[in-house]
Amino acid sequence: MADSDILAIQQSLNLYGVAVDTQRWDLFDRLFTPDVDADYGATSHWTSLARFKTDFAAFHDPFDSTQHTLSSHLVQVDGDRATSFCNGSWRLVRKAVDGAPLWDGTGWYEDDWMRANGYWRITRRTCRITWWTGDPLVQETIPGVKFALRTTVLRREAEAGRCRILDALASSRRES
């Protein structure tokens, strides 16, 4: 595992926040494979990068401002495959909503990566919300389309065997 691979993946994770906050959806082409499996909860799941970009653009366009911050990066590389985990926090601002214009949330991203032609791309993403506060109407930017506001406890996901980074870390320990 090369430190340069870890750094490249961390840079890509941070680029995701910039892409969303600047609404530069073309940057998703540098982050995800065309057939990415992006699972953002029960009602938000994509298996096509084109549709993922279209829906994210429609969802984020009405916001006056957004801020996505990613931290606590863990990356495990195995040849041309990798698994990563990071925490995220999101602030969504939409002044057109009656009431409070803010919705804040935190959660995590867990990604499977593939190296192709020298570049790392996400093949599978799981994003879960662990906590949120504010006006849930702020994030209802498309009539009838809602992101799931159900929270998920990481400890319980790990206990149920649904935390891929733990499997990747355990595998690397056995190889050491």
pTM listed for this prediction: 0.88
Rounded average pLDDT over 153-160: 83
40 three-state secondary structure: coil
Q: Return d(Cα 165, Cα 161) in angstroms, integer.
A: 10
Q: Any idea where the domains of the chain sit in the sequence?
A: 3-175
Q: Which of 67-71, 90-94, 149-153, 171-175 has the lowest mean pLDDT?
A: 171-175
With a cut of 80, say whether residue 172 has pLDDT above it: no
pLDDT, tens only, 75-131: 999 999 999 999 999 999 998 777 789 999 999 999 999 998 899 999 999 999 999
Class of domain 3-175: alpha beta
Q: Return d(Cα 126, Cα 152) in angstroms, integer.
A: 12
